[in-house]
Amino acid sequence: MIRPAQAMRTARAHVITVILGIAVFALVAATFPSSALQAQGAGQENDRTNVANDPEVLGAERLFSAWIEGQIAYRGIPGVAVGVVSDQELVWARGFGFADIKAKLPMTPATKFRMASHSKLFTAIAIMQLREEGKLGLDDPVVKYLPWFKAKPAGDDDGPITVEQLLSHSSGMQREAGDHWTSFVFPTSDEIRRLYADRQAAFAPSVRWKYSNLAYTVAGMLIEQVSGQRWADYVERNIFKPLNMNASSVDQNVPGLAVPYGRRMPDGTREVLPFVDARGMAAATGITSNVEDMAKFVSANFRRGPRGGEQIVSTGSWREMHRVRSVEENWTSGSGLGYDVSRINNRTYVGHGGGYPGNTTMTSIQLDDKVGVIVLTNTGDSNPSDIARQLMATVGQAVAKAAAPKPAAVPWDPAWARFAGLYRGRGGDSQVVLLNKRLVLVTPNGPNVDTPITLEPLGGGRFRFVAPTGGGVVGEVVRFVEESGRPMRMYTGDSWIDRIEER
């Protein structure tokens, strides 16, 4: 028989395992539930308004729903709330299972969850806002603003930890600030200041990717020092309110929270876990939100322009946060500024997961498709990243396809067949090959022919150099110089090679 105290210790231990797993994170995602709710602040028309009613999208919703209902039934998951965003629109949001099993309270897109490490996204945004205001720099040593931030270095000549290293998990700092994942008692800001003097970094800065809640705790304290506001108040005024995230809060036991359940025990039972205040570590793990509010946050990632109103940071800051800064040792995932970044099936996803006592969560964003998925669960063993992966693979992909712009392609001109042939220069040969109404460019003595360069028609005998990698003149113009209607020279970007006469 498992005694209550033993069950509590086991549940707490599992929370730690879940949080670690989500932190390392296998990022993917995208989904959407049944009500087409308009995200706030689209500010302009887009051609995605019919996405929610697209037959493929509706079919994908039914497919995912059948699967997740099976997961709930066979795995005994209490409840799951999901959302799928297409640019500025929440095209599907739905709850499955229960927010409260005992009361038979259904899960809905409005149900609130402890978002845990999603909080780091908001901390990074706050830093970028202060940077845009000229109040700090990413290269600044943290000690410039927090004089007490002086731990024992990992080596003899490590250099100071910078603001960017805090945000990109490259500071080398220890992961935690105490036993809070076991005891559920988080330290205060004063306690963190006192303990930090006795800390020693595990690695020197920029040596390797190392996830750290302590680093983000310090980032939150930095925000407070520079802004003169409590971290929770700053986020409320500068992020929640501009995005109309009215259901979101920081470390408040608000009405509408899902009941947090521990892992499923061998006898099928789940412990009901307490509300836990993150206290001094709120910047790393203290936010509460729901699918509807997180959809507004996801849409903000797709907007462009200078900072102001619902544009909470400038286009340049968004790009800096989304760009990978440090990578895991296996190079499959890493961090931007606040954002986890993952490369899966040749697609890049940004977002974050989270694990808190009785809550595990995942938000995944595909920037090129302007699609994001949100998965929120009220237990520690639901594996939301796996659920998000299935949501993205079903509803997310259907949404991306339905919302994809339909560019007016330049019609094929049969006369372009004359550009096919062998071209030679000092650096090597290139062969233009005619496929079915398409020209491609290959290196005739190259090791393979299965990834040719595409010459995308622009009109007027001009083409764009389209390639899967960033080398060469990708994205630039390819044009041909002709004499008497016969191509004699091919320019790729600014360089040229001459056509070889056929014999």
Per-state percent for the chain, helix, strand, coil, to nearest 5: 30, 25, 45
Under the banding of pLDDT at 50, 70 and 90, the label for residue 451 is confident
**Which tens digit of pLDDT belongs to each residue from 178-197?**
888 889 999 999 999 988 88
Residue 196 DSSP code:
H
Supply the pLDDT for residue 448: 82
CA–CA distance, 354 with 21 (Å, rounded to integer): 9
Confidence (pLDDT) at 460: 84
| pLDDT at residue number 48 | 55
pLDDT at 19 over 90: no
Going from the C-alpha of 466 to that of each of 455, 475, 492, the distances in angstroms are 6, 6, 11
Token readout for 335 is 């961090």
Tell me: pLDDT of 321 over 80: yes
27 vs 380: which has the higher pLDDT: 380
| CA nearest to 139, candidates 161, 121, 168, 170 | 161
Q: Within the chain, how many helices (H) and strands (E) appear?
A: 13, 21
How do residues 69-96 score in pLDDT, each as one tens digit? 999 999 999 999 999 999 999 999 999 9
Query: What is the average pLDDT value for the chain, to the nearest integer?
Result: 88
Strands 462-466 and 421-425, bridge-based pairing: unpaired
Taking the C-alpha atoms of residue 397 and residue 459, their distance in angstroms, rounded to an integer, is 31
pLDDT exceeds 70 at position 335: yes
Whether the Cβ atoms of residue 35 and residue 291 lie closer than 8 Å to each other: no
Closest CA to 123 of 252, 221, 246, 225: 221
The amino acid sitting at 70 is G
The pLDDT confidence band at residue 32, using thresholds 50, 70 and 90, is very low
Backbone phi, then psi, for 255, in 5-degree steps?
A: -65, 150
pLDDT at 122: 98
> What's the pLDDT at 327?
87
Please return the burial class of 102, using the count of CB atoms within 10 Å of its CB with bins 0-12, 13-18 and 19+.
exposed
> Nearest Cα to 353, choosing from 368, 369, 342, 367?
342
Q: How confident is the model at residue 4 (pLDDT cuts 50, 70, 90)?
A: very low
Give the max Cα distance, the chain.
92
Q: Which amino acid is at 12?
A: R
Q: 466-484: per-residue pLDDT in tens?
A: 998 877 899 999 999 998 8
What's the average model confidence in pLDDT over 371-396?
A: 97
Name which of 486, 468, 467, 477 is nearest 421 in CA terms: 486
Q: In the predicted model, what is the mean pLDDT of residues 255-276?
A: 95
Is pLDDT at 37 greater than 70 in this prediction?
no
- Provide φ and ψ at 342, rounded to 5°: -140, 145
Whether the per-residue pLDDT at 35 is higher than 50: the answer is: no
Per-residue pLDDT tens over the stretch 192-227:
998 888 888 888 898 889 999 999 999 999 999 999
pLDDT at position 486, please?
87
Closest residue by Cα to residue 338 from 166, 162, 121, 165: 121
Give the Cβ contact number of residue 137 at 10 Å. 13
CB of 204 within 8 A of CB of 154? yes
Within 8 A by CB and 6+ apart from 460, the residues are none
CA atoms in the 13 A half-sphere facing the CB of 483: 4
Alpha helices in 93-249 (DSSP H): 119-132, 163-167, 180-183, 189-196, 213-227, 231-235
pLDDT digits (tens, 9 = 90+) for 423-436: 999 989 999 999 99
pLDDT confidence band for 413 (50 / 70 / 90): very high
Q: For the ranges 1-10, 160-169, 233-242, 424-433, which has the lowest average pLDDT?
A: 1-10
Question: Structure pTM?
Answer: 0.82
- Spatial distance between the Cα atoms of 74 and 289, rounded to a whole number of angstroms: 28
pLDDT at 238: 98
Mean pLDDT of the 145-170 span? 88
Of 16-30, 142-156, 232-246, 417-431, where does mean pLDDT reach its minimum?
16-30
Once rounded to an integer, what is the mean pLDDT over residues 231-254?
98
Is the pLDDT at 38 greater than 80? The verdict is: no
pLDDT at 330 over 90: no
Q: Is the pLDDT of residue 17 over 80?
A: no
Query: Do 250 and 288 meet the contact criterion of CB atoms below 8 Å apart?
Result: yes
**Helix pair 119-132, 213-227: axis angle to 10 deg:** 40
What is the per-residue pLDDT for 49?
62
Compute the distance between CA of residue 99 and CA of residue 106 in angstroms, rounded to an integer.
6
CA distances from 112 to 79, 109, 248, 263 (A): 12, 8, 8, 19
Name the percent of the chain lying above pLDDT 70. 90
